[in-house]
Structure 1
Amino acid sequence: MSAFAPPRSKKARSSGSHGSGNEFFKGIEKIEYKPGAGADEVMVFKHYNASEVINGRTMQDWLRFSVCFWHTFRGVGSDPFGFPTIQRPWEDGTDSMENAKQRLRAAFEFFTKLGIKYWTFHDRDIAPEGQTLEETNSNLDEITDLAKELMEQTGVKLLWNTCNLFAHPRYMNGAMTNPDAHVVAYAAAQIKKGLEIGKKLNAENFVFWGGREGYFTILNTDIRSELDHMASVLRMVVEYKKKIGFTGQLLIEPKPKEPSRHQYDYDAMTVIAFLHSYGLQEHFKINVEPNHTTLAGHPYEHDVVMASVCGMLGSIDSNTGSPDLGWDTDQFPMDVKNTTMVMKTVLEQGGLAPGGLNFDAKVRRESTHLNDMFISHIGAMDSFARGLRNAVKIAEEGILMKMVQERYASFESGVGAKIAKGSSTLEECEDFIKKYGDPEPHSGHQEMYESVLNHYV
């Protein structure tokens, strides 16, 4: 998840209102499933068949894809070293309410033609910020009235919404962890409105990403106070969520760094430890972004697996990055081995609902054609469809599972069973070693496991 850039001042090409029957994506029909399509046929699904039933559920139910609004409809192709390269035909060069509504109508046309059932947004993505909190909230109310209307017309649902607590200058030293209580109070007020909007649009989740909840230097930072203050705000969130009857799942999205030098939500285990430390573990789950996982120095699937085995995997921001670059590139996930590992975990935990696979990804800054918006999502959706099929086959054949079970077979009886149950003692372990002597090393067969996985991919 990252901040969006403002639209360029250049006058956009004219495009009609979706409400008046005109199209923003002229010449593009609804994307169809076409198995066996050729390599150069990129505007069709070759593997993603939404209605196909796999393991008792449709592929659409297993994958629960979502389009993110900030990258897809606010992204302009800029990066830390280059100016914007993308100018969309629905942009008029302003951040006006009129343009915000036009942008929203374009988005729902895109969702419909792509055949996707969920979307996600930040509060500041969809509505311009006003001069006062009251004006800002009024803008949000007006825009979400239109969003609700478009959702009802199209059947597209809100996977989650979130608050942008990192882009505005007021948050340069953090939001919930800011050293100024005035800023913390503003962040809390912004979150309050975000929860209300989530309830209004029947959001299935609500996400917190602490883009600046961290530090650049410990010298000016009271870490314990900042963690305490963040926990205090999150407790307010739990109370207000219950007060207004919002039923969405609360999620925290880990990231180790960028924009801060160090962020308090470093990785899944760090967030889980934080939640347990402050007694919040019953109220929050984890929204894993694999690009953030690799920034933390872990393998792609690491946080997905760790969150899942701890019963805390709530949703996945499905993207990837280029570890050789060393920053968050938010690319579309096209590596089938990665999607296979993710879907293996999702399958093992019985699905992601009410979470999903949100494409927190952006087209490359040189991918400026409208078709690229579709091709990127289609390719990623096909990659996850292939990953799902691979994961199902892995589970059905059970070879990997049997290999792992055999590796841990010593914990099924004797001293191993007692250790596993937590009923053994140090004295018993000592007696066991005195009787049986030193253990013999057993191969981990890493290359064999990797070879078996490659058989399915």
Structure 2
Amino acid sequence: MKPVPIDQQQALVSRLMQACGGSYSPETRRKYYISGPQWAAAYQGQGLFYAPTRPAIGFEDVIRKYAGIGIGYWTTHDTDVIPTEGLGRDQQFEIVARLLKALSENGLQCSMVTTETFYHAVWAASPAAEAPAVREYAKFRVRNTVEIGHELGAGFAVYWPGSLGYYVQGAIDEMDTLRWYAEALNAACDRDIEVAGKKGRPTLKHCLEAKPFEPQAEILLPTSDAMLAFIGSGLLTHPEMVGLNPEYLHELMWGAAPRAALARALLAGKLFHFDINDGYRLKHDVDIGVGLVNPLDWLNVLVLLRSHGYNGPFNLDFKPPRTTSQFGVFEVSFPTAVDRFITLWEMAGEVISDPIIQEATDALKAGGSSGDGAGDPHDAEAIAKANHELLTLHELIAHRLVQILLGLHRGRVFSIGR
């Protein structure tokens, strides 16, 4: 192939994208509770060791692009759209008015707001720093975000305390830090109750997001399980208002099974919101698009969530690769991420209703029998023997899941030349 001229490259991408097939219409995509973050679409490809590869893009353009794709919900940090110095001032009110106009004109809803408590220099020692002024400022920020959320019609507020930790041992008192962080969450919930009452709206669902490492060397609330313990610690004045926003990759980063972490959150009644992406176990936070690395695991995750009635948002918290252009972000990255999620979600429905998996699961739950009907319930050897052959169904179920993922259950086979 000859080198492709610059003015023909976008057309090539679009033609090959169309040739891929398997896309859903914007109308179909809007039927799913999928949200697009401002920060994900506006990510310029920058990082600790590399420069941006894409130009900046404002929220009006992001919202318009999401609408065209069929993403029906939009999420944001406070400072993704409002400069830090404008928070709580006239500039905030002007920008919120523009946001409401853009959302309305494009038929989107704001589903979630979150407070940036990690980037600005004021958070160098975390939002629960020793200095009282920092902690009071943190309370102002989370209260203010609650107010923004109500103005925009959001239902969720997320908190990622990424800087809640330390670089060097002995620098902080962990007990104090956790208590101080709880004070900020209590301030947010108290303001939420007040604002919701005045506006006649439900209170927000407040969601804690864990991450095992980065940006601090040691993190005080590194996992979803740690967050559950924190919620139940007695430090929160409204623990019923506070739940989790697990992120798929954040669970992988410390070697956990995301499905197991989600199951524990479901059991606790605390799975409020879910950030979806993909990546590699025990690696840093690469934020790859959903299903590009672990499609089988993702299928299993969605089987769990469908089976147990999760009906919250799926937030596309991933970073389009640095190699993808601004055009490609909205032509390839976001449409394909949405379509992979929808396909995996519908596959999960097939798994749940699959007769082979159903029969195998029913047999395992029924257990085995020695046939004489009078087995000794305390005879370990007899119980093991009675169930021995049934346990092979575990591997059979796993094989059937792969068949469904690859389309083999519908007769797809490959003809191999002899």
- Quick check: TM above 0.5? yes
Residue 109 in structure 1 maps to residue 61 in structure 2: no
For residue 450 of structure 1, what is the aligned residue in structure 2?
398
Identity %: 21
Letter in 1 for 2:170: L
Question: What CA deviation, in whole Å up to 9, does each residue of 1:408-455 have, x standing for no partner?
Answer: 5469xxxxxxxxxxxxxxxxxxxx98x535675466545333212112
Q: Name the CA distance, whole Å, in 2 between partners of 1:72 and 1:437.
A: 57
Q: How does 1:294-443 map to 2 (within 5 A)?
A: 294-323=252-281, 326-335=283-292, 336-352=295-311, 355-397=312-354, 399-400=356-357, 403-404=360-361, 406-409=363-366, 436=379, 441=384
Query: Matches of 1:221 and 1:405 in 2, distance apart?
Result: 53
Whole-angstrom distance in 2 between the partners of 1:299 and 1:145: 42
Give the deviation of 1:42 after TM superposition: 4.3
Indicate how the Cα distance of structure 1 residues 439 and 183 shifts in structure 2: closer, same or farther if over 3 A, else same.
Answer: farther
CA contact (8 A) 1:123 1:161 kept: yes
Partner of 1:41: 17
- The one of 29, 43, 52 equivalent to 1:84 is 52
Q: TM-score, normalised by structure 1?
A: 0.74
Equivalent residue number for residue 126 of structure 2: 174
Aligned length: 373
Secondary structure, counterpart of 1:207 in structure 2: strand
* C-alpha separation in 2, matches of 1:262 and 1:439: 49
Q: Unpaired segments of 5 or more residues in structure 2?
A: 1-9, 369-375, 406-418
Q: What secondary structure, in the 3-state scheme, does the structure 1 residue paired with 2:61 have?
A: helix
The answer to which structure has the higher helix fraction is 2
Task: Tell me how far apart the structure 2 counterparts of residues 122 and 333 of structure 1 sit (CA, whole Å).
Answer: 21
| SS of alignment partner, residue 363 of structure 1 | coil
Q: Which of 243, 261, 265 lines up with 2:217 in the alignment?
A: 261
The answer to whether the Cα contact below 8 Å between 2:245 and 2:271 also exists between their aligned partners in 1 is yes
Instruction: Work out whether residues 44 and 378 of structure 1, in 8 Å CA contact, stay in contact via their aligned partners in 2.
Output: no
Question: Is the 8 Å Cα contact of residues 112 and 154 (structure 1) preserved in structure 2?
Answer: yes
Gap change, CA 1:400 and 1:123, over 3 Å in 2: same
CA contact (8 A) 2:158 2:206 kept: yes
1:271 corresponds to which letter in structure 2?
M
Distance 1:43 1:249, change over 3 A: farther
Aligned to 1:198: 149
**Take 2:239 and 2:356, find their aligned partners in 1: how far apart are those partners?**
34
CA 1:262–1:438: 2 relative to 1, 3 Å: farther
The code of the aligned residue for 1:252 comes to: L
Counterpart code for 1:371? G
Corresponding letter in the other structure for 1:452? R
* Amino acid paired to 2:299: T
Q: Does 1:66 find its partner at 2:35?
A: yes
SS of the residue aligned with 2:256? coil
Show the counterpart of 1:270.
Answer: 226
Moved more, 230-239 or 282-291: 230-239
Aligned partners of 2:331, 2:152: CA distance in 1, in Å? 25
TM-score by length of 2: 0.81
| RMSD (Å) for aligned C-alpha atoms | 2.8
Please give the alpha-carbon distance, in whole angstroms, between the structure 2 residues aligned to 1:260 and 1:136: 28
Change over 3 Å in CA distance of 1:248–1:216 after alignment to 2: same
Q: CA deviation at 1:220?
A: 1.5
**Cα contact 1:268–1:286 (8 A) shared by 2:** yes
1:13 corresponds to: none
Shift of 1:41: 2.9
Which residue is equivalent to 1:216? 167
Structure 2 residue 87 is matched with structure 1 residue 119 = no
- Distance between the aligned counterparts of 2:277 and 2:193, measured in 1? 32
Is contact 2:26-2:69 (8 Å) kept?
no
Q: Distance in 1 between matches of 2:162 and 2:297?
A: 25
Displacement of 1:308: 2.2
Measured in 2, the distance between the counterparts of 1:454 and 1:239 equals: 48
Q: Distance in 2 between matches of 1:439 and 1:287?
A: 45
**Secondary structure, aligned partner of 1:206:** strand
C-alpha distance in 2 between matches for 1:339 and 1:436: 39
Distance 2:313 2:136 in 1: 31
